[in-house]
Structure 1
Amino acid sequence: MVKLDERGRGKNKPASEYDINEVRNVLLEKIDGEMQLNINDPLDYREEDLIYRDNKMNLLSLFCGAGGLDLGVELAGLDVVLGKEKTNEFLKDRDTFNAVRNDGVFHHLYSNDFFKEALETYKQNFPKSVLTHNKDIRKVKQFPKADIVVGGPPCPGYSSAGPRLVDDPRNFLYVHYIRSLMQVKPRFFILENVKGMLTLADGEVFRQIKQDFEASGYRVYPKLVNARDFGVPQIRERIILVGVREDIDFEYVFPDPTHGDSPDLRPFVTLREAIGDLEEEPGDIFEGSYSSIFMSRNRKKSWDEQSFTIQASGRQAPIHPAGLPMEKVGKDQWIFPDGEENNRRLSVKEIARIQTFPDWYEFSEGEIDGISKNGRLNKVYKQIGNAVPVQLARAIARPLAQYLHDEMKKGQVKQTKEKVIG
């Protein structure tokens, strides 16, 4: 939809009622407005606090959140050095993993997010050598030099569950991702976002976004992927953009699915496999009644299926698979035939498993004084729901990690050593 400046009701109308040129003009106007924001604030982190690794690919993470995308990329960098089986063994224990995480291709240099609790989570789980920056990306004057940029700009404005306004200001944070590419000039970038980005305004929004990234000097490889095809026990479709700097002779090819119904693939990972052992001791759970909107459709998968998409909300968490299936009793009306008291939402620990975080991963609740248990837990549900599933990120990053590892072995790639572009 395009939001009009008219007062009163009916000020939003579907973008399909607009001429494509009108939509494009709205987009270009907003992009220009974002670029004109005041970004001349003093640099509020010290250059000397940036720790570069000369023998690694230094990584810049934007909208890093709790670190799902970052951890997946890191695992891909370990896989090509140690092998996936060994990496998986090390990943089972925090201390063991920390002892080998410097052996991979990538080094986390700088991470930025405006969500304070998510950044606290990131700091608890990544090396202290990472400079974590809690600041609105629109006010970051200068991004550090790096070899690869990763991140998923906030996406409520694209989501099919939201209002889907073409000029929702949250839709234009990607412009600052592009600004980072223009400053940093990394070899590669990885961007993740919701499926709705593809269809908003009959695809015009996505076409504009792709052109903007290409204009910043990158060949852009887009694809809609489903996390369950890569061992994630969740039906979660996301658009991935991988960018390769124009001067680099490398064609990115998305990995083939590793899981599916085909006999030559491993079976999809089920909820029973992922969280069956947590049924008796699930940990903290968001509690409370279910709204009529929540009960307007099925929210419960069986043990032998994959979860619905994990949302960034405790109240909207899917229902645990135990007990009877939900039952449709009318248009947009479902019930729990065995009673609401016999059904609960998935716990924090369970949704973290479904998002393929390791069990040792810690999530920050932030300030707890004066905040209800549900309020604190909701911050954690939000972090986990917003994250890129770790195993999906790992699969997407693997081709880049393999290319860089091979080139580094041949001495064809010189690592980034500069501090900040002046």
Structure 2
Amino acid sequence: MIFRKGELFNGPGGFALGSSWALVKGKNETFSVTHEWSNDICEDACETYKKNICPDRPETVFTKDVRLLDIEKLPEIDAFIFGFPCNDFSIVGEKKGFNGDYGPLYSYGIKVLKHFKPKWFIAENVGGLQSANDGLAFTTILKEMVEAGYKITPHLYNFADYGVPQTRQRIIIVGFRNDLNIDFKVPKPTHGPNGNQPYRTAYDALMNPPIQKDAPNHEFTKHTNKVIQFLKHIPPGENAWYEGIPEHLRLNVKGARMSQIYRRLHPDQPAYTVTGSGGGGTHMYHWEEPRALTNRERARLQTFPDSFVFYGGKEKVRQQIGMAVPPEGAKIIVEAVLKAYAGIWYPSVEAKWDIDEIVYQDKLNLVTT
């Protein structure tokens, strides 16, 4: 069976690429996912999506504000994925939640569920969603998914636990339509202390194999001599506040000191979270060479293959990479969905949240812990 997938807030196509890699063979049938249509407001992200995900069907990617999208005129789908904007739920920033410009956009995903009634859906957002609006945002979103007719399983995933060379925590909500009577199980971690393989390291991601000099999106940043000297005094894994930095090179910053500022990767550990925005000192830094990572290196940490070309200016490409779902992580989740649908057993762990207690008994304290 081939599930026809619709997607809102498609970004550059991390979830779409991972979905295209997912393939599950049942006793008498093979299960896979194919692109049907998608939407995003960002022109550069849509160009990236078109060229890499559906080059033969660019007209199926709708570049516009989701609030202007005529959902009812879109083609029929069996599956739906939406990584609704996380700007107002992120732990970096003001955490406006429902009070921000982006918080309410999840509701367009609910409209898709109610109109198309796909067999299953996957929703994705940052970990900060669980505490936005004192936990009310998370509870409200889950309730609306249940009311749309779905049995849902929310869980906080750390993609490093699934072979992604990066510590990246995201809330993933999987839902199956009620009439299918399917229980989704969170796939068991494959890496780290709870898996059977060691974590993938930043060194492995960037050096195995080495990136070709002419690889796309591999432009190097030109640093001032002061920044270069500054970085030379920061050991792998340390940041701008390392005590060994000479006094004359130290940053004059008052107040909160973000741990990611001029933080260098540690070659023997997964990278810290790749982000899509931020000023000086937030571009991620090589453990050996005194420089920021290139966009291609950030894409490697996000598990995009080197053949995946990002379109747009350097900062727009950085934004796309940082906002994306790692394709290899997406593949594992989609394969678990396909196995659940096919009735195939796979190793699993208990979900972080008990949906019955959150939605039906409305215990907000379970959301914020």
Q: 1:287 to 1:155 in 2, by over 3 A?
A: farther
> Is 2:64 the partner of 1:129?
no
Name the counterpart of 2:189. 257
Is the 8 Å Cα contact of residues 105 and 404 (structure 1) preserved in structure 2?
Answer: no
Task: Indicate whether 1:312 and 2:276 are aligned.
Answer: yes
Specify which of 162, 174, 179 is matched with residue 230 of structure 1: 162
Q: Is 1:272 matched with 2:203?
A: yes
> Could you say which residue in structure 1 is the equivalent of 2:266?
302
For the 8 Å contact 2:182–2:341, the answer to whether it is kept is no
SS at match of 2:165: coil
Deviation at 1:354, TM superposition (A): 0.5
Q: For residues 344 and 185 of structure 1, do their structure 2 counterparts lie closer, same or farther at Cα, with a shift above 3 Å needed?
A: same
* 1:119 to 1:68, Cα distance in 2 relative to 1, 3 A: same
Q: Give the 3 Å change call, closer, same or farther, for CA 200–153 of structure 1 in structure 2.
A: same
Equivalent position SS for 1:351: helix
Matches of 2:42 and 2:264, distance apart in 1: 29
Tell me the TM-score normalized by structure 1. Answer: 0.67
| 1:61 and 2:25 are equivalent in the alignment | no
Contact 1:229 1:268 (8 Å CA) reproduced: yes
| TM-score w.r.t. length of structure 2 | 0.76
Q: CA RMSD in A?
A: 2.4
Superposed CA offset, 1:228-278 (max 9, x none): 00000101100000111111121000100000035x610000011110254
Q: Which amino acid aligns with 1:159?
A: S
SS in 2 for 1:247: helix
Alignment of 1:7-406 (within 5 A): 56-76=2-22, 78=23, 80-81=24-25, 105-127=32-54, 128-129=56-57, 131-141=60-70, 142=72, 143-166=74-97, 167-261=99-193, 265-276=196-207, 277-278=209-210, 281=213, 283-287=218-222, 296-298=258-260, 299-313=263-277, 315=279, 316-322=282-288, 343-365=290-312, 376-404=313-341
Q: Which runs of 5+ in 2 are unaligned?
A: 228-250, 345-369
Aligned AA for 1:297?
S
**Equivalent residue pairs, number:** 301
CA 1:405–1:292: 2 relative to 1, 3 Å = farther
* Larger Rg computed on CA atoms: 1
1:381-418 C-alpha deviation (Å, 9 max, x unpaired): 111111001111111111222244569xxxxxxxxxxx
**Cα shift readout 1:264-310 (whole Å, capped 9, x = no counterpart):** 61000001111025478482134457786797435222100111100
Whether the aligned pair in 2 keeps the contact of 1:302 and 1:322 (CA below 8 Å) is no
Q: What one-letter code is carried by the residue in structure 2 that aligns with 1:133? A: F
**What is the deviation of 1:75?**
1.2
Corresponding residue number in structure 2 for 1:100? none
**8 Å contact from structure 1 (residues 72, 391) kept in 2:** yes
| CA pair 164-391 structure 1, distance change in 2 beyond 3 A | same
Partner Cα separation in structure 1 for residue 75 and residue 92 of structure 2: 35
CA separation of 1:288 and 1:199: change in aligned 2, threshold 3 A: farther
Tell me, in whole angstroms, the C-alpha distance in 1 between the residues paired with 2:162 and 2:142: 25
Cα separation, partners in 2 of 1:200 and 1:112, compared to 1, 3 Å:
same
Contact 1:144 1:184 in 2 (8 A): no
Question: Contact conserved, 1:60 with 1:111, CA < 8 A, in 2?
Answer: yes
Q: For the Cα contact (< 8 Å) 1:314–1:381, is it kept in 2?
A: no
Are residues 312 and 405 of structure 1, via their aligned partners in 2, closer, same or farther at CA, if it must alter by over 3 Å? same
Name stretches of at least 5 consecutive residues in structure 1 with no aligned partner: 1-54, 83-102, 324-342, 366-375, 408-422
- Contact 2:15-2:326 within 8 A present in 1 as well: yes
Distance in 2, Cα, partners of 1:190 & 1:81: 21
- After superposition, the Cα gap between the structure-2 partners of 1:292 and 1:377, relative to the gap in structure 1 and judged at 3 Å, is farther
What letter matches 1:132 in structure 2?
A: V
Deviations 1:42-69 (A, max 9, x none): xxxxxxxxxxxxx521110111111001
Is the CA contact 1:105–1:405 (under 8 Å) kept in the aligned structure 2? no
Deviates more, 1:230-239 or 1:285-294: 285-294
Matched AA of 1:220 = I
| Residue aligned with 2:107, SS | helix
Seq. identity, %: 33
Q: Find the residue that maps to 2:124 and give its secondary structure.
A: strand
For the 8 Å contact 2:265–2:285, the answer to whether it is kept is yes
